[in-house]
Chains A and B, each alone.
Chain A
Amino acid sequence: GENVEQHPSTLSVQEGDSAVIKCTYSDSASNYFPWYKQELGKRPQLIIDIRSNVGEKKDQRIAVTLNKTAKHFSLHITETQPEDSAVYFCAASTDSWGKLQFGAGTQVVVTP
């Protein structure tokens, strides 16, 4: 089955700097790669997703890149703000089995 690895497990950045979280996946059939943000005590919520026919997607200060050959995808947060502090999860799935396989999560701390 699919295996998703996520790095780093914790990331501390200064406000205004950029943050990058990387994930690798094992199943070459995976074609959907969402990112979820979970604030303390809250539920995970989708912040951005990308499909395998696209190499990059942006939404304001966040962007996701996908390298299908290397089987890795990354989340980029620019101009970080204190409200970006949260746990971020990457995930992968395929249309055929639909199961979302999550990474272990990255705790991002943005210090003022």
Chain B
Amino acid sequence: EAQVTQNPRYLITVTGKKLTVTCSQNMNHEYMSWYRQDPGLGLRQIYYSMNVEVTDKGDVPEGYKVSRKEKRNFPLILESPSPNQTSLYFCASSLSIRGTEAFFGQGTRLTVV
């Protein structure tokens, strides 16, 4: 089954404790991205990747890191999480950057206390 898989689904952590949210897709998609969803603000892009080893900042990259060592995986790293990073996070993948459907993962609800 074609899918984007994120882990974990829920995470409560403390300020400053490094964490990684994994994202994996099995559709051989070139384009992957991370979004955060906050009430009233919609989906804001954090980082995106157009292919292996090619990543770039989205609209709200501060406090986040990503890597794309393999085509299928695109982990999101919070080196020193802060409470303002409490949010719902979605990973998404698309066949290419050229106007194709974005497939979203199930979401990760992160709470930083």
> Which residue numbers of A lie inside 8 Å of B, CB to CB?
1, 6, 9, 31-32, 34, 36, 43-46, 49, 51, 89, 93, 95, 97-105
Contacts and interface: CB of A to CB of B under 8 A. Distances in A.
Contact of B90 (A6, A44, A95): A44
Given A9-B40, A43-B90, A89-B43, A100 B102 contact: yes
B107 interface: yes
A86 to B, nearest CB: 14
B101 A49 contact: yes
A89 B42 contact: yes
B41 interface: yes
Contacts of A89: 42-43
Interface string B46-60: 001010000000110
A31 to B, nearest CB: 7
A46 B90 contact: no
Contacts, number: 55
B93 to A, nearest CB: 12
Nearest to B96: A98
B43 A102 contact: yes
Interface of B: 31, 33, 35, 40-45, 48, 50, 58-59, 90, 96-99, 101-102, 104-107
A105 B43 CA distance: 8
Given A43-B104, A99-B45, 6 more contacts: A9-B40, A32-B98, A36-B102, A95-B98, A98-B96, A99-B58
Given A32-B99, A43-B107, A93-B99, A98 B31 contact: yes
A99 B48 contact: yes
Contacts of B106: 43
Closest 5 interchain pairs by CB? A98-B97, A32-B99, A43-B104, A104-B42, A102-B43
Nearest to A6: B42
A6 B74 CA distance: 29
Contact of B102 (A6, A46, A95): A46
Contacts of A97: 97
B92 to A, nearest CB: 8
27 contacts: A9-B40, A34-B101, A43-B90, A43-B104, A43-B105, A43-B106, A44-B104, A46-B101, A49-B99, A93-B99, A95-B98, A97-B97, A98-B31, A98-B48, A98-B50, A98-B97, A98-B98, A99-B33, A99-B45, A99-B48, A100-B45, A101-B45, A103-B42, A104-B40, A104-B41, A104-B42, A105-B42
